[in-house]
Copies of this chain bind each other. A is one copy, B any other.
Amino acid sequence: MDLNNIPKPTESELEILQILWLHGPSSVRFVNEKLNEEREVGYTTTLKLMQIMVDKGLALRNTESRTHIYQAAVSEADTQKRLLQKFVDTTFRGSAMKLVMQALGNHQASPEELDEIKALIEKMESGGDDN
């Protein structure tokens, strides 16, 4: 696959990335077991997906030992940012604020979390040009 220019991960690939981000470099077996805590997936299915991810540049693998070790090749924060951008565009016509309001309204937040958000807003309102 094209070095540089890494594509958007699919649903299944994102699930695997979540595991790699959370647990660090992992074997296919480990990832497959984690996936199977959520839903049934065959071992070779997971293997194939992870091989494709390497091909796409979403993951790297170390083939020194017989059991190959895979790791994420894209960062969680960057990926979230990219996917969020696209999601805001397609689902909220680019209005991040509408999304924020929806998210705040739908999900209940703890007082601590709300304070965190308020703090961020304060910061944005004071030094409110850059970023």
- Chain A residues near B (Cβ < 8 Å): 11, 14-15, 18, 22, 79-81, 83-85, 87-88, 90-93, 96-109, 111, 113-114, 116-118, 120-121, 124-125, 128, 131
Contact = CB atoms under 8 A, between A and B. Distances in A.
A20 to B, nearest CB: 13
Given A18-B93, A90-B14, A109-B96, A114 B103 contact: no
A12 to B, nearest CB: 10
A96 B109 CA distance: 8
Contacts of A102: 80-81, 84
Given A83-B91, A90-B11, A114 B125 contact: yes
User: This chain: how many copies in the complex?
Assistant: 2
Contacts of A128: 108, 111
Given A106-B96, A117-B121, A118-B118, A91 B80 contact: yes
B100 A117 contact: yes
11 contacts: A11-B90, A18-B90, A18-B93, A87-B91, A88-B107, A96-B104, A96-B109, A97-B109, A101-B120, A109-B124, A118-B121
Contacts of A104: 96, 100, 117, 120-121, 124
Contacts of A96: 103-104, 106-107, 109
